[in-house]
């Protein structure tokens, strides 16, 4: 089966810059709102952000269905960023620490690379263009929001734990791909995006994916490493 049906947006193109500027401004404003509207409780704002993410998912699915664009190859939410969005929504309601660590590592990894090298699996027609940026910007929004307003911080060695759990997700999505002949998480064919971490053809780029993932997870943990070390020293 031919999987290469995606549309890419060139990094640093005028449309890319316009999109990134809008995203940056939107994330900044949404994070600042609780600081200036004192009558808004953080828990209520948690729900507000979760509803925004839910609404985007629902509108995207309905848009594709009613316009005859929905198909099993592209519209099942089985890519890493789609899975991360569901975890973001759940975390905003229950604040489970392990779930938050999935959101932190997966959200940063998927959000950053999806915005740096956009690849539209559902095409760029109509709402699909906007939903792509809303979904991936939403991941970065939630990560920054829970750190700033919820006091979230990943635990020591959490980057290794999440990397380990990630292998189970990769295996599960891989089985799904072979069962229904799809390419979710790009496990059966390389992405079309021009990303420096995509090295070689199948299956060799999967090795580069794994190396890049564990490197990114370790890098994402570094800002918290010193704080956790000081906290552990104080407790001991």
HSE toward the beta carbon, residue 30, CA cutoff 13 A: 23
Cα separation, 69 vs 53, in Å, equals 21
* DSSP helix/strand/coil, 79: coil
- Kind plus residue range of the DSSP H or E element containing 119: strand 119-120
Task: Calculate the CA 157 to chain-centre distance.
Answer: 21
What is the residue-wise DSSP string for 115-131?
HHS-EETT-SSTHHHHH
HSE toward the beta carbon, residue 168, CA cutoff 13 A: 5
Per-residue pLDDT of the chain (236 residues; tens, 9 = 90+): 445 567 999 999 999 999 999 999 999 999 999 888 777 788 899 999 999 999 999 999 999 999 999 999 899 999 999 999 999 999 999 999 999 999 999 999 999 999 999 999 888 889 999 999 999 999 999 999 999 999 999 999 999 999 999 999 999 999 999 999 999 999 999 998 888 899 999 999 999 999 999 999 999 999 999 776 665 555 55
Domain residue spans of the chain:
7-235
Q: What is the pTM of this model?
A: 0.93
């Amino acid at each position: 089966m031919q999987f290469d049906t995606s549309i890419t947006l060139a990094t640093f193109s005028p449309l890319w810059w316009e999109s990134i500027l809008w995203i940056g401004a939107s994330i900044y404003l949404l994070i600042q709102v609780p600081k200036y509207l004192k009558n808004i409780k953080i828990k209520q704002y948690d729900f507000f952000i979760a509803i925004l993410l839910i609404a985007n998912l629902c509108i995207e699915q309905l848009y594709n269905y009613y316009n005859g664009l929905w198909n099993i190859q592209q519209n099942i939410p089985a890519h890493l960023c789609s899975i991360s969005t569901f975890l973001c929504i759940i975390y905003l309601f229950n604040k489970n620490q392990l779930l938050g660590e999935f959101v932190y590592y997966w959200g940063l990894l998927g959000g950053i690379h999806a915005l740096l090298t956009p690849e539209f699996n559902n095409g760029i027609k109509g709402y699909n263009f906007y939903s792509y940026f809303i979904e991936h910007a939403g991941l970065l929004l939630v990560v920054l929001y829970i750190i700033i307003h919820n006091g979230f911080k990943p635990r020591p060695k959490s980057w290794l734990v999440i990397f380990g759990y990630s292998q189970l997700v990769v295996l599960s999505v891989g089985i799904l791909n072979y069962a229904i002949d799809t390419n979710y998480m790009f496990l059966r064919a390389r992405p079309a995006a021009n990303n420096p971490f995509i090295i070689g053809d199948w299956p060799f780029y999967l090795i580069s994916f794994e190396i890049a993932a564990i490197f990114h997870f370790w890098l994402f943990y570094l800002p918290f490493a010193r704080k956790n070390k000081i906290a552990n020293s104080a407790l001991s």
